[in-house]
């Protein structure tokens, strides 16, 4: 949705927005994943998997992930530990 459409839909003259200049496709994927973590109602395992992708695919540290998604580093660390659970427990 374009900015003008958002403004018309919200019936406001201005809306808060971040404008990002994304150069590479990998950066677009990283931004999209971060937005989904922040916006979506993910279960703890899905959130952990998203953090793991940010770590492995985009080489982000736990501190960088924490700052980016607005959580404490210890929360990210504990979340990533969930991925060490046996598969049958993760499915529950």
Contact indicator for 82, 90 with CB cutoff of 8 Å: yes
* SS3 call for 23: coil
Structural domains of the chain in order of their starting residue, each with its CATH number: 21-91 (1.10.10.2830)
Contact indicator for 24, 58 with CB cutoff of 8 Å: no
State residue 4's pLDDT score: 52
Band of residue 8 on the pLDDT scale cut at 50, 70, 90: low
Quick one: angle between helices 73-81 and 62-69, nearest 10?
110
Q: How far is CA 64 from CA 12, 22, 41, 70, in A?
A: 34, 18, 21, 10
Is 90 exceeded by the pLDDT of residue 38? no
Band of residue 1 on the pLDDT scale cut at 50, 70, 90: very low
Task: Please give the backbone phi and psi of residue 41, each rounded to the nearest 5 degrees, phi first.
Answer: -95, 75
Average pLDDT over residues 6-21: 66
């Amino acid at each position: 949705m374009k900015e003008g459409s958002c403004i018309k839909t919200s019936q406001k003259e201005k809306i808060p927005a971040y404008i990002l200049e994304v150069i590479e496709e990998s950066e677009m994927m990283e931004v999209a994943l971060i937005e989904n973590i922040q916006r979506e109602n993910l279960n703890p395992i899905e959130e952990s998997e998203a953090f793991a992708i940010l770590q492995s695919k985009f080489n982000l540290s736990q501190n960088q992930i924490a700052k980016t998604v607005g959580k404490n580093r210890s929360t990210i660390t504990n979340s990533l530990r969930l991925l060490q659970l046996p598969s049958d427990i993760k499915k529950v």
